[in-house]
Amino acid sequence: MTFKTSQLILSLFHPITVPLWTLFLIFSSGSYLSYLSPEIKRLVYYILGFATVILPLLTFGFLYFSRMLPGILGGNKKEVFLYYGIVTFSLFFAWNILNRLPLSKYILYSTLILAFSYGAHTLVLLFSRTSMHLVAWGSANAIILAIAIKLHIPFHWGVILLILIAGLIGTVLLRTQKAEPFEVYSGWISGFLWVFVLAMWFF
């Protein structure tokens, strides 16, 4: 696997894109959420996209050119903590905006639960090493599984797709030696278990 290919995969499935991927799967679940008007869907996509992708990238860019952040992948523990702290804040910001709209609790709580997951695991990074990529995708998997259970919908392909994406990311991280096996497995398991419990409670 070439360096460019691995970087493309890690960027495409970066933790800041996970909320949008999760939202796409929620809208594709075949539940009543799939039948929301296109205007509402676009509005939610725009809000979530700005708050969780554009805003963090603008902040990262400012910090990078101010020499406060070494690059898109982070550096030491303090820098990584700052990096994902910004992502967590952006998720809470997105939830705060979406909460003002008459949206389903599944959309609102999915955003809020992801924010809690990112925040909790960001704190973990100060004391231990884990893969935030796998935390994010484990969290997304838990949310989609919980929605499928609560709404009684056969959404097997969504759950399987997320597992395959997590497997792809884990393989890339291991082959490029960006993470140890423990970081990969613990990241996914921790993200999944933490979020699944919260999702089943809130949903």
Listed by start position, the domains of the chain span 3-202
Residue 1 has pLDDT above 80, yes or no: no
Residue 72 has pLDDT above 90, yes or no: no
Residue 127 has pLDDT above 90, yes or no: no
Residue 130 has pLDDT above 80, yes or no: yes
User: pLDDT (tens digit, 9 = 90+) per residue, 152-191?
Assistant: 999 999 999 999 999 999 999 999 988 999 999 999 999 9
Residue with the two structure tokens 């990238």: 57
Measured between alpha carbons, how far is 132 from 137 in angstroms, rounded to an integer?
9
121 three-class SS: helix
The region that residue 109 occupies, defined by phi over 0 for left and psi between -120 and 50 for alpha, beta otherwise, is: alpha
Q: Which of 104, 110, 94, 14 is nearest to 47 (CA)?
A: 94
User: pLDDT (tens digit, 9 = 90+) per residue, 94-123?
Assistant: 999 999 999 999 999 999 999 999 999 999
Q: What angle do CA 134, 119, 169 make, to 5 degrees?
A: 10
Measured between alpha carbons, how far is 171 from 159 in angstroms, rounded to an integer?
18
Q: Compute φ and ψ for 129, nearest 5 degrees.
A: -105, 135
Measured between alpha carbons, how far is 116 from 156 in angstroms, rounded to an integer?
25
| pLDDT of 136 | 97
Do 33 and 107 form a contact (C-beta atoms < 8 A)?
Answer: yes
